[in-house]
Structure 1
Amino acid sequence: MRTYRLPELEDLPRLITEGGPHLSARTACQIEVGAHRFDVPVITLGNPAPDVPAVGFFGGIHGLERIGAEVVMSYLHSLVQRLKWDRLLHTQLEGLRMVFMPLVNPGGLWLGTRANPQGVDLMRNAPVDAVEPVPFLVGGQRWSAALPWYRGPLGAPMQLESAALCQVVEQELLGRPFSLALDCHSGFGVQDRIWFPLAHTRAPMPHLSEVFALHTIFEQTHAHHRYVFEPQSLQYLAHGDLWDHLYLQAQQQHPEQVFLPLTLEMGSWLWVKKNPRQLFSRHGIFNPLIEHRQQRVLRRHAGLLDFMARASSSHALWRPAEQTRLAQHAQALNHWYGRELSRPASENPA
């Protein structure tokens, strides 16, 4: 099987050294692929106090989607360079925790596969079953690791990489007054999309009013953006979604707090449209293989990641007040689901 270098892992020690005392790094778990062993790194910066908001950036969950890891690494590189001179960034970090897991599935990146080395699709691996029908195969299957979108054996523990991601989110994001996660993927359609839960049901998420408020300030401050901001369930449902699992866990364990997991789904078929030869490369279907297009992609999404960090830091200024949540929930239902409702999907969506 063809293997690929992992320049992202090679760059991390240099970035950590440059970040000096401002960065902390640890290994969430180690993955073995034949004679090779890879760390799953976690980099943190900012205020670790549990009462400050947090933002997490994740990439490389699917090994074929290298561009997701590169987007996260590019933003981390920018922050490290800004730490040398940007006083406003230092001020922001006094009241914000930032978490980076740029390479959740290094074994998949090394092998050039969507799944991890055990053949499990990490985004179908959580113990969450869809309550409505899912598309064949794409929605997750347990028949065989030889088929794509394999969930893993029924009743088995989550894969090491999935469990490591969940542990980092539980430790660093959940339980804070506000936290946001952005998971970077590619491979769906020709447009860049920002998806929010839920993926296992078409029912609106309890924090729909908060997502709508976030969408509103994004529209106001990025008037010429080209993202489609929508619930994932408008496109397809799936079993085993990690972010559904973590969101439901947050709802159960920290109902008074707000955790918003989002997915950046880069429209990679646009790159294929511009360079049809990429269609004949499994790796090329999910990544911009021409250098200037890759640079353009990294530039374009840097603003989105920075917006998410700033929005997390300033959540108290844009989150809907209790007296307006019901109205914003109704507006969101009408905007995304084409209907209005007098009451939220949950009797107590907070």
Structure 2
Amino acid sequence: MSPVVAALPELQLLERLCEQGAEHVQRQHLGDVQVGGRTFPLLALCLGNPSPQVPAIGFFGGVHGLERIGAELVMAFLASLVSRLRWDSSLHQLLESVRIVFMPLVNPGGLWRGTRANPAGVDLMRNAPLESTAQVPLFVGGQRLSAKLPWYRGPAGAAMEQESQALCDCVRRELLTHEHVLTVDCHSGFGLADRIWFPFAHTAQPIAHLAEMHALCEILDQTHAQHAYVFEPQSRQYLTHGDLWDYLYTEASARAEQVFLPLTLEMGSWLWVKKNPRQLFTKHGMFNPQIGHRHRRVLRRHLAWLDFLLRAAAGMPRWLPQPEQRAEQERRALLRWYQRGDQPGVKV
């Protein structure tokens, strides 16, 4: 086993899952990240039907190296699928109707160093060439002053960081070649509630596919009536520069036939701190559950939602609103998310 994989347990597990699912899983090497004398590969795993005629879904994690729970959640879901491939005939039937892409470790260098940013000090979620149309909160919205400060976007006019570019290229090549696409990017660290965010983050204006996003929210409410997620546009909380998913959505929405619905799971880590205040005194405590039973409970809680999303992706033609239904769906979405009269801003 290479010393690179041994140095990062998440990569070791990912390579093992590649081996276990080798008959069904395609491993893609998207590049290498150099840090601390080590080389960490950027990996994507694909399975299911590659035909552009079926819907597709992507699961992403580890964008922020401190938020290990996001990478662990995506890996746990991948491990569940790989295990079920040996015996679950219904899963094999499902895979005939959907393409699945996993990129659980977008920022392996940040995971290894225990930092939010990548090894160059750049926050990958502030790194896209996209500017907010309104004032963003100081620092949190993205800054270009210094890589020594948090939320650094990188130098003005520079190319995107290798990790950001690898994510975008993977989405374009493996997902946006399909007409109907869902993605979920797993994070932690914001507030006391688990939130499902969708674009935009750079503007408070609604997305073009607001009707489709509301239809997805409705089937979640109907299928999991007791769920505790707050489903909302990210702009209801704060605006940022350089959001990768805003950037990819804006690019994809220029194609009239494309329905691309990117989601971000923001696990409310303040609840873990509230239950265990000692976590404040550890490097990872603000962003990850530190007690074993709570860690397992968090994974169980969100694995059910990831499974829902996989099935929702496979069934997109069944629940996407028809042309005559879009106006009503959009009206309900505007009432739900954009008619409250308050302005976006950081809420603490």
1:197 aligns to what? 199
Residue of structure 2 equivalent to 1:21:
23
- Per the TM alignment, residue 20 of structure 1 is displaced from its structure 2 partner at its CA by 2.5
Q: Deviations over 1:180-218 (max 9, x none)?
A: 000000000011000000000000011000000000000
Query: Residue type of the partner of 1:287?
Result: N
1:115-126 to structure 2, matched below 5 A, reads 115-126=117-128
CA distance in 1 between partners of 2:327 and 2:246 (Å): 23
Tell me how far apart the structure 1 counterparts of residues 178 and 19 of structure 2 sit (CA, whole Å). 29
Q: Residue 54 of structure 2 aligns to which amino acid in structure 1?
A: V
Match of 2:307 in 1: 306
Asked if structure 2 preserves the Cα contact closer than 8 Å seen for 1:46 and 1:93, the reply is yes
- The CA distance in 2 between the partners of 1:13 and 1:122, in whole Å, is 24
Q: Does 1:295 align with 2:305?
A: no
What's 1:268 paired with? 269
Amino acid at match of 2:48: G
What does 1:42-61 correspond to in 2, within 5 Å? 42-61=44-63
Other structure's SS at 2:296 match: helix
Determine the structure 2 residue equivalent to 1:225: 227
Which residue is 1:85 aligned to? 87
Q: 1:152 aligns with which of 151, 154, 174?
A: 154
Determine the C-alpha separation between the residues in 1 that align with 2:128 and 2:226: 36
| Secondary structure at 1:10 match in 2 | helix
Match of 1:164 among 163, 166, 176: 166
Identity among equivalent positions (%) equals 61
- 1:39 is aligned, of 38, 41, 52, to 41
Amino acid at match of 2:282: S
TM-score normalised by length of structure 2: 0.95
Displacement of 1:16: 1.4
- Shift of residue 13, structure 1, vs aligned partner: 2.1
- Read off the aligned partner of 1:299 and give its amino acid letter: R
* Local SS of the residue matching 1:286: coil
1:79-124 alpha-carbon deviations (Å, 9 max, x no partner): 0011111111100101110000000000000000000000000000
Question: Counterpart of 2:334?
Answer: 333
Q: State the partner residue of 1:348.
A: none
Per the TM alignment, residue 175 of structure 1 is displaced from its structure 2 partner at its CA by 3.3
* 1:282 CA displacement: 2.7
Q: CA deviation at 1:5?
A: 5.0
* Map 1:124-143 → 2, pairs under 5 A: 124-143=126-145
* Kept after mapping to 2: 8 A contact 1:175/1:257: no
Aligned residues: 336
Task: Give the Cα separation in 2 of the matches to 1:96 and 1:271.
Answer: 35
SS at match of 2:284: coil
Query: Does the aligned pair in 2 maintain the 1:333–1:339 contact within 8 Å?
Result: no
Counterpart pick for 1:101 among 103, 122, 128: 103
| Aligned match of 1:321 | 322
Shift of 1:249: 0.6
Write the letter of the residue equivalent to 1:234. R
Answering whether residue 178 of structure 2 is matched by residue 176 of structure 1, we say yes
Aligned partner of 1:213: which letter?
Answer: A
Helix, strand or coil at the partner of 1:239 = coil
Partner residue, 2:344:
none
Task: Name the CA shift for 1:308/1:208 in 2 (closer, same or farther; >3 Å).
Answer: same
Distance (whole Å) between structure 1 residues aligned to residue 258 and residue 53 of structure 2 = 11
